[in-house]
Structure 1
Amino acid sequence: MDLKVGRKGRAQTTVSTLNTAKTMGSGQLEVFATPAMIALMEQAAVNALELPEGQSSVGTSLSIKHNAATPLGVNVFAIAELVEIDRRKLVFTVEAFDDAGQIGVGKHERFVIDADSFIAKAQARNQGM
């Protein structure tokens, strides 16, 4: 794993009826949903990573503020910066913006995992349900 503090990732989308608060069930209005903003921030963090084959990362913690509403048709992008590495734990600062400025900010933690082992444990945990 060759990761260094300062790596950045970016993700973008356009607000549509698919990612509004009304559609996603997080509110009643046709504005960019908080869950959609969080997913975009996580995607930006994943895009900052280049992990060896067989490894992946999973999100484990989020602390996010959604500060401004974004209407239909407006472009939104998120930026994640890797600010701390503690063995397999990765800490990112995350921000989201629309054409008018910042709409969200926070911190996101991910863990680097062995993909096959992780899936096997998840399947074993859910057998017999």
Structure 2
Amino acid sequence: MEDRPSASIEFQVTTDDTARALLSGELEVLATPRLVAWLEAATCAATHDTLAHGQTTVGTGIVVDHVAASPVGACVIVSAVLSRSEGHRLAFDVEAKDRESGELLGGGVISRAVVDSETFMARLATRHAPGV
């Protein structure tokens, strides 16, 4: 089987990562928006060495279930594996686990698109130019 681009990153939950801090709940546990951001970071890391000069990826879709809580101080390992590549569209299987217990904290699929950085930003600037 051909090696698929993948990456794993470890994060430690801080008070800045909690649902309370990110206004996504009241508890001092890892917030779902932060978990999703960490999972996206793993997708970016997985493709970093595979893109041509001037290319990057942008997020296009997220389907993630956050199934277990993590307290402040917990270490979370997030991983992404490229599961599908169709032209410029990429799909990654992602998951997060507690480093100490190995418990699954969440997972799903994140989609990204490969774009030329300059072209992408130029289109955005044109669309948001004064008087346009």
* TM-score past 0.5 threshold: yes
SS at match of 1:57: strand
Distance 1:60 1:123, change over 3 A: same
Correspondent of 2:33 among 32, 35, 43: 35
Q: Distance in 2 between matches of 1:119 and 1:7?
A: 26
Q: Does 1:87 align with 2:122?
A: no
Query: C-alpha offsets along residues 27-51 of structure 1, whole Å, 9 cap, x if unaligned?
Result: 0000001011000100001111121
Correspondent of 2:12 among 5, 11, 14: 14
Correspondence list, 1:1-129, <5 A: 6-49=4-47, 50=49, 51-98=51-98, 99-100=100-101, 101-128=103-130
1:15, 1:71 within 8 Å by CA — same for their partners in 2?
A: yes
* Runs of 4+ off more than 6 Å: none
Gaps of 5+ in 2: none
Range that drifts further, 108-117 or 97-106: 97-106
What is the Cα deviation at residue 128 of structure 1?
2.3
**What TM-score do you get using the length of structure 1 for normalisation?**
0.93
Q: Identity over aligned residues, as a percent?
A: 35
Q: Distance in 2 between matches of 1:119 and 1:34?
A: 28
Matched residue type, 1:72: V
1:84, 1:91 within 8 Å by CA — same for their partners in 2?
A: yes
1:5, 1:82 within 8 Å by CA — same for their partners in 2?
A: no
**What TM-score do you get using the length of structure 2 for normalisation?**
0.91
Q: Distance in 2 between matches of 1:128 and 1:64?
A: 37
Q: Number of residues paired by the alignment?
A: 126
Q: Distance in 2 between matches of 1:123 and 1:91?
A: 27
